[in-house]
Structure 1
Amino acid sequence: MDQLLNDFSPGLFIMQMVILLILLFLLAKFAWKPIMASLTEREEGIQNALDAAEEAKKEMQNLQADNDRLLKEARAERDAMLKEAREIKDNIVAEAKEEAQEQAAIMIENAKATIKQEQQAAVAELKKKVADLSIGIAETVVKKELASQDDQLKLVEGMLEEVTLN
């Protein structure tokens, strides 16, 4: 430490101080402003990027909310369409059943009417055959003019065996 004090030169010290002050002046005049401007510009760029990222985040949240809302609406619309389709199907099935029952009732009524007509025709035909048979038997009995009751009964029984009813 003694040696430093012995080697100390006040002129050199003052020169170095002047050079340092000139250097600081030059740096302040020419270097500090561009460095500070670039630092400020960089800070603003970073802040703008952060703001843009925040805005993009908010926009993504809005898009997600819109997507969720659209998805809910689509599901609700799909459910409504499915419900309507089920109702239409049920109505068609019910109408088809009702129409089938009406057609079946009409067919049954027609069949009953046909059966009744055929039955009446069969009865009429049977009455006609019985009348024809009775007339034939009466004619035969009258033609033969049989004297005995036994002969007449044998004749009637023989004729009945010959006649076959359908």
Structure 2
Amino acid sequence: MDLDIYQVDSFTSEAFKGNPAGVCIINNGLTDRSMLSIAEEMAVSETAFLSLPDMTLKWFTPKAEVKLCGHGTLAVAHVLKERGLVSTGDTVNFETLSGTLTALINESTIELDFPSPTIQFDISPCQVLLDNLGIEACKVVCFGCFDSAAAGLVMYIKWQA
């Protein structure tokens, strides 16, 4: 298998700064197992895989696939620009598990547009969670959760001290 794999330091213009992401641009499909193996080998927080024919973008940690990764998306857009596959002023649409993500390629920046999370407030907090946080149930003013994709399930709790 012959692949071009990059490591990009996102959010910086200096080497060994920012947030490193692996990037693999492919023309034909790789299995999820192959992508996971490559991510394990890269040993960074996420490795992004872009299938050029259908612009499907996936991200893998060394342990699992994730639904969304901002710095990985930024790294992919950067590699596309550096390889001359996109130009300043282009808009790139990536198809992901989180929906369509858009990148606007500017001269010296890249703008990313991600879906907004929907917070569910019609659920009750788990007593074990409250106990572990040291919060009494009667003090909870508001509780919600949302799937932030990259971070997994995120809880929101507002309580009276």
TM-score in same-fold range (> 0.5): no
The structure carrying a bigger strand percent of its residues is 2
The structure carrying a bigger helix percent of its residues is 1
Larger radius of gyration: 1
TM-score class normalised by the smaller sequence = under 0.3
Q: Please, what TM-score do these two structures have when normalized by structure 1?
A: 0.16
Q: Please, what TM-score do these two structures have when normalized by structure 2?
A: 0.17
